[in-house]
Each structure stands twice: as C-alpha cells, then as structure tokens.
A and B are shown apart, each in its own frame.
Chain A
Amino acid sequence: MIHTADSTFRLDANAVDYIIVALYFMVVVGIGLMARRQVSTSLDFFLSGRSLPAWVTGLAFISANLGAVEIMGMSANGAEFGMATVHYFWVGAVPAMLFLGIVMMPFYYGSGVRSVPEFMRKRFGTGAHLVNAISFAVAQLLIAGINLYLLATIVNRLLGWPLWVSLVAAAAIVLSYTALGGLSAAIYNEVLQFFVIVAALLPLTIVALHKVGGWEGIKDKVQPGQEQLSSWPGTDLTGIDSPLLSVIGIIFGLGFVLSFGYWTTNFVEVQRAMASDSISAAKRAPIIGAFPKMFIPFIVIIPGVIAAIIIPKLADLKETGKGDVKYNDAILLLMKDLLPNGMLGIAIAGLLASFMAGMAANISAFNTVFSYDLWQQYVKKDEEDTYYTRVGRIATVAATLIAIGTAGIASNYSNLMDYLQTLFGFFNAPLFATFILGMFWKRMTATAGWTGLVSGTVAAVLVAFLSEDTFGSASWGVLGVSGQGASFVAAGAAFVVDIIVSVVVTSFTRPKAEEDLKGLVYSLTPKESLVDPDEVHLPWWQSPPKLAGVALVLVIILNVIFW
C-alpha cells in the first residue's frame, strides 16, 4: 500500500477536469438536499417509502455493487487471468440475481420485513437474528472503511491531496447525502453514478480497443497465449491444476455458493429491491439489474486485458512477475496513458462515483439494521416513528466517523481485495445455506438456524487456515488451494457444513408451530400472496419470469461465445 502520493499515478488533470469533477459533486449534494424535502416517515428514510420504479431500483441494485472492488479488482483479474474473469458475472452474479428476483424476493417483500436480519428473526427467532444483525453491522463498518480508504487513496494519487484531507473530504460528502436524504438520496445517487461510471469506462474501452487494434489485435498480442481469451476451464483463475476440479470449483464454489450467497442475502443489495412499489417491481429490480450487469465485463475486464498488452510496465509484470506496478492499477494506467483532458475528468469523476457508491451503500444498510434490528429490537422498543428516523440519522453520522477509523485499519492490509472476498465467504455462504433451507423446509428449527450459521462460518475459517495463503503466513498449507480458488473452496465447505448441521440439529429439536411460519416458508405460504393479482396480465417486459427467461438465454449465449 502506498501511503504517500506516488508520482507514477499523478494524472495531469487541468482546470476542465476539476470543473467536471466539481459538477458531479454539486449534483450529488443537491440530490441529498432535494431528497430531504420528500422524507416524511421513517419508512421513507429507510426504504424510500417503497415507491421507486423498478428501473431505478434495478440500476441502484448493481450500482451499489459497482464499487472499488468491482472496478479495480475485476480489471486487475482481467489483466492477470484474461477472460476467465467473466465467470464472476456470467456464472456468478447474473444467475444469482435472477434467482433472487424469482425465488427469494417474494418472501422478503411479501413478509413485510424491513431488513434481511428481520426475516431471520421471524423465521428463526432472536438467536439467529442477533448473530446475523451484529455480524452484518460490524462487517458493514469494516467494509465502509475499506471503500473510504480506497476512495481517499485515489484522490490522493490522482489529485495529490494529502491522504487525511482526502479521507475527511470523501467522508463528509458521503455523509451529507446519506444523512440528509436517507435511502432515496443514496439510491438516486447510485443511479446517477451508474451512468457516470459507464460514461467514464465505455470511452476508455473504446480508445483502448482502438489502440490495440480491436479484438483481432487482442488475439494477436495477448500473453502468454490464446488460452487467456477462453473462459473455461479457468485454471489460472482458480489456481486449481485439474481442469475438472477447476470447473467444479467455479460452478459450485463461485457460482452457486459465493455468488448466490452474496446476491441473495446481502442486505446492501436486497435493501435496494425492497424499496420498490409492488411485489412484481421488487422481483423485477434484480432481474432488470441483471441486463446491464452481464455487459459490465466488456467495460471492466476487456480494458484490463488490453492494459496488460499495451502498458509496458504491466506487460513486464505479467512476463516476469516483478515490477513497480500492480494489476490493481490497470485502469489508472490506461487513463493516464490514453485519455486527454476532459475525458480524463469524466474518468476521475466515474472512479470517485464508484467508490462513493460502495461506501454510501454500506452506510445506508448499516443504519437500517442498526435502527430497526438492534436499537428498536433490543434497546428501545416502543418509541414514536420520528424517534427511529432520528436514531437512523445519528447512526449514519456515527458510522461515517467510525468508517474513518476503520479506514485506518484497512490501510494496514496489503492484500485488501483477497481479504474482502474471504470475508464474504465467511458470512454470506452459511447465511445463504440457512436461508434456503429455512425457506423450503418447514421443520427446520430455531436452534438449527443459529447453530448452522455458526458452524458454517467456523468451517469456512478452518478451510482458510488449511489453505496455502488465505491468512498469509498464518495459514498452514495443508490443502493445495490458494488465492481465489481457496475462497471458492471455503465457501463450498461453509455451505455443506451448514446444511448438515442444520439437518442434524433439527432432528433433535422442536420445530416452530406452522401458523407462525405463514409467509416465511414456501409450502405454508398461499401462492396468491407471492404475486401481484395483475401479474399475469403484465406484458413480457414487465413480467418477472419472462424477463428472467430472456436474461438467462442472453447470458447463456454470452457464455457460449466466449467459451
């Protein structure tokens, strides 16, 4: 990690670039001020009054995820491993988003819960709820710190402001719009951010393609060879030598467990769909989001692949494994080398937008879980609605201040991205197993809920210790997996152990009464309550199952083209 400004990455930004970036920030703060006038109840503040159209929540849905890890991490992966990185999108994210829309969202939205932990409480009682709510809140604070740190690092590298000034300035802006306008402001900004990010990355991709000589140019020059351009079996990506095991690792570990776990139980994501105005709009949100999501690899991974060809320093790094640049810098190096002033300003605004989106998403999810699930549930139960809105605002301020502190912790880690992926595996994989079992198996008991969660997490941590490098030198190297392959295996283990423990514990404990599980378990929920009455009359482009079918066909076609 670089703590002082590094001249390698100083971009020659001029007045026009600064104006472009300033315009963006003015609009961001303006949205917060405007949204404030429209906030009247706590439901408005936390879930946007459940009144946003599906295309807005759908774009916010992927924009909340289009943060530092996505842009820097995936372009880095593209530079290092080539097209196999598309699995994160076409095997991972898109199928998971469709599954969330069709299968899980009706339960979340229909049961009237305001957060994912609250669903946990209704289904499994307070034991599982408390475990889930606290671990989620803590994780959000840590991740917000990581996003804030990356944001400040970029400001520091690009514009040369001291790191602490960048940190405080970035925190102040995120705070001003989330505290003022709540989720509406965060979501509206995320939608805006999506377009600014695309406006930054699409032209960058076009110039890079032009420079390298189009797809043919990539094919000719990509190193170490053509296998970088086909996505299967992805042995470079997983670090698993056997092609068969590598494919299994990608499909089960990355695709089924990690991605389904992340997209279906991560409240940062689900919260955005919950802000919709009807069940079918809530189902549509992730499905609509899946369409742009499947094309994001073209503006994130392809530039990474090209950067490894046309940026001499990166090409050296790839050939020799040594150098003073990192794969994480791929996008920045491309910007520096290819973009003229003007477009450069847009690109900087896009990156800043992306990192702020990540942090704002963490903060707004944190304040909902803190206010509803921790404060209202365990501290002060029956206060007025305005009281909880105020608690939410205070929580937002506190979370931002704490994030400045956790950004300090984050600055001590040199392998931030791997660390973050590993954390997702620890918490999301067992959560997904518990959810899926609890939703479809009415006998599953409350005790099984929390014991499954805890043992799943323990299993993932154990795999991380057994792997070669997940915990750095603290790992024992008993299992021959490392890097991203290790996090796929850890996630798979967490899932399997969670299921086994849940089944065994259930057979020894008493299930909840069936009437308490109505609306929470598939077989005990009247089918009518999972769909809007008029859903059958919707045209195909508004009907969730048909829209999901179209998305699925498209993503299969993409998978085949880049086989």
Chain B
Amino acid sequence: MAANGKRTVGLFDIRFIIGGLIGLYGVILTFLGVFNASDKELAKGDGLNINLWAGLGMLVVGVAFMAWARLRPVIVPDDAESTDAP
C-alpha cells in the first residue's frame, strides 16, 4: 500500500514479464525452426515444423502483451487502502 501520487507500476507490470519471456521463447523457436529444422526432427512431427509455427505464435503473443502494457499502463491508485488491516 505504498501508493503515493499517481505512478505506474512500470516494468513490474506482469504483462511486460509475460510478453518478454514468451516473446524471447518465440525468437529462439523461430530461429530454430528456420535454421535448424533437420529432416529427422521434422519427421517427428510428421512434417510439421512445430518450432517455426509455435515460435511465430509466441512472438505474436509476446508483442501483443508488450503493446497492451505500453498502451494501457496500470496506475497505482491513491485509495488502495484496506479497511480491515490488522
């Protein structure tokens, strides 16, 4: 409840953390999918390059979370006071 004045929660915003980690995973997987897809690995997934597709999907999700956090930052409210604090 250390809320004094209007301030945003900044990087502690969970959306930045989720977006960052999932986005980073997306980069790694996309990279693997493009440069490291051997026939043997592809055969496992029956020809589906899952690293590439999952990587692209995660990139999109990661960017979406970052954009959401950037466009609608969380403001720590002044009245985040609880009436029943012990």
Measured CB to CB, the residues of A under 8 A from B are 16, 19-20, 23-24, 27, 31, 34-35, 38, 40-44, 49-51, 53, 56, 112, 114, 188, 191-192, 195-196, 199, 202-203, 206-207, 210-211, 277, 337-343, 346, 376, 385, 388
B50–A207 contact, CB under 8 A?
Answer: yes
Asked if A341 and B32 sit within 8 Å, CB to CB, the answer is yes
- Residue in A34, A56, A191, A388 whose beta carbon sits within 8 Å of that of B12 in the complex: A34
Task: Given the known inter-chain contacts A44-B1, A199-B25, A338-B45, please indicate yes or no for A343 contacting B54, CB distance below 8 A.
Answer: yes
Q: B74, A41: Cβ atoms under 8 Å?
A: no
Contact A342 B28 (CB under 8 A): yes
B22 contacts A210, CB within 8 Å?
no
CB of B50 within 8 A of CB of A23, answer no
Closest beta carbon of chain A to B18's beta carbon, Å: 5
A388 to B85 CA separation, bound complex (whole angstroms): 12
**How far, in angstroms, from A489 to B26 measured CA to CA in the complex?**
46
Contact residue among B12, B20, B50, B61 (Cβ-Cβ distance under 8 Å from A343) = B50
A211 to B43 Cα, complex, angstroms = 10
Minimum-distance CB pairs A-B, first 3: A340-B41, A203-B54, A112-B84
A339 with B86: in contact, given A53-B74, A199-B22 (CB under 8 Å)?
A: no
Residues of A within 8 A of B20 (CB): 27
Instruction: Given the known inter-chain contacts A38-B12, A192-B17, A196-B21, please indicate yes or no for A338 contacting B44, CB distance below 8 A.
Output: yes
Query: Contact string, B53-86, partner A, CB cutoff 8 A, digits 1/0?
Result: 1110110010000000000001000001011111
The one of A19, A44, A202, A343 that contacts B51, using a Cβ cutoff of 8 Å: A343
B contact residues around A277 at 8 Å (CB):
80
The minimal Cβ–Cβ distance linking B50 to chain A, given in whole angstroms, is 5
Q: Do the beta carbons of B46 and A210 come within 8 Å of each other?
A: yes
Give the residues in chain A near B21, CB-CB below 8 Å.
Answer: 23-24, 27, 192, 195-196
A553, B22: Cα distance in complex, Å = 32
Distance of A463 from chain B, by nearest CB (Å): 40
30 A-B contacts, Cβ less than 8 Å apart? A20-B25, A23-B25, A40-B1, A41-B85, A42-B86, A43-B86, A44-B1, A49-B82, A56-B14, A191-B14, A192-B14, A195-B18, A195-B21, A195-B61, A196-B21, A199-B25, A203-B50, A206-B50, A207-B45, A210-B46, A210-B48, A337-B44, A338-B45, A338-B50, A340-B32, A340-B45, A340-B50, A342-B33, A342-B36, A346-B54
Q: Report whether B80 and A49 are in contact in the complex, using a CB–CB cutoff of 8 Å.
A: yes
Given contacts A49-B80, A191-B14, A207-B50, contact A16 B32 (CB under 8 A): yes
Nearest chain A CB to B38's CB is how many angstroms away? 8
Contact call A38/B86, Cβ cutoff below 8 A: no
Residue of B nearest to A187 (CB): B14
Q: Which of B2, B17, B44, B57 contacts A27 (CB 8 A)?
A: B17
What is the chain A residue whose CB lies nearest that of B49? A340
> Considering the chains assembled together, what is the distance between the CA atoms of A23 and B20 in angstroms?
11
Binding site for A on B (CB under 8 A): 1-2, 12, 14, 17-18, 20-22, 24-25, 28-29, 32-33, 36-37, 41-42, 44-46, 48, 50-51, 53-55, 57-58, 61, 74, 80, 82-86
Kindly state the separation between the CA atoms of A468 and B77 in the bound complex, as whole angstroms: 57
**How many angstroms between the C-alpha atoms of A115 and B41 in the bound complex?**
50
Given known contacts A27-B17, A343-B51, A388-B86, A211 and B29 CB-to-CB distance under 8 angstroms: no
**Which single residue of chain B is at the shortest CB-CB distance from A111?**
B84
Are A50 and B82 within 8 A (Cβ)?
yes
- Residues on the A chain within 8 Å of B25, using CB: 20, 23, 199, 346
Chain A residues whose C-beta falls within 8 Å of the C-beta of B86 in the assembled complex: 42-43, 376, 385, 388
For the complex, what is the distance from the CA of A53 to the CA of B14, rounded to whole Å?
11
Inside 8 A of B28's CB, which chain A residues have their CB?
Answer: 16, 19-20, 342
Task: Give bound CA distance, A561 to B62, whole Å.
Answer: 32
B29 to chain A, nearest CB (A): 5
**B32 neighbours in A (Cβ, 8 Å):** 16, 340-342
Chain A hits for B29, CB < 8 A: 342-343, 346
Report the Cα distance A20→B32, complex, angstroms: 12
- Known contacts A38-B12, A195-B18, A346-B25; is A49 also within 8 Å of B46 by CB? no
**Residues of chain A contacted by B74 (CB below 8 angstroms):** 53
B56 CB to closest chain A CB (Å) equals 11
User: From B46, which residue of chain A is reached at the shortest CB distance?
Assistant: A211
A40-B2, A206-B50, A340-B50 known; 12 new pairs, CB 8 Å cut-off, are A16-B32, A27-B17, A40-B1, A43-B85, A53-B74, A188-B17, A196-B21, A199-B58, A203-B57, A210-B46, A210-B48, A340-B42
**Which residues of chain A are within 8 angstroms of B50 by Cβ–Cβ distance?**
203, 206-207, 338-340, 343
User: With the chains together, A315 CA to B33 CA distance in Å?
Assistant: 31
| Separation of A20 and B29 alpha carbons in the complex (Å) | 10
Nearest CB in chain B to that of A46: its residue: B86
Residues of chain B lying within 8 A (CB to CB) of residue A188 = 14, 17
B48 touches A207 (CB 8 A): yes
Q: CA separation between A39 and B70, bound complex, in Å?
A: 24
B18 touching A191 by the CB < 8 A rule? yes
Contact of B18 among A40, A192, A207 (CB under 8 A): A192
A27, closest chain B residue (CB): B21
Chain B residue contacts of A42, Cβ below 8 A: 86
Across the interface, which residues of A come within 8 angstroms of B44, CB to CB?
337-340
Whether B24 and A23, one on each chain, are in contact in the complex, defined by CB atoms closer than 8 angstroms, is yes
Within the complex, the shortest CB–CB distance from B55 to chain A, in Å, comes to 8
- Measured CA separation A385–B28 after assembly (Å): 46
Partner pick for A342 among B2, B24, B48, B51, CB 8 A cutoff: B51
* Cβ of A41 to closest chain B Cβ, rounded Å: 6
A51 in contact with B45 given A16-B28, A40-B2, A203-B54 (CB within 8 Å) = no
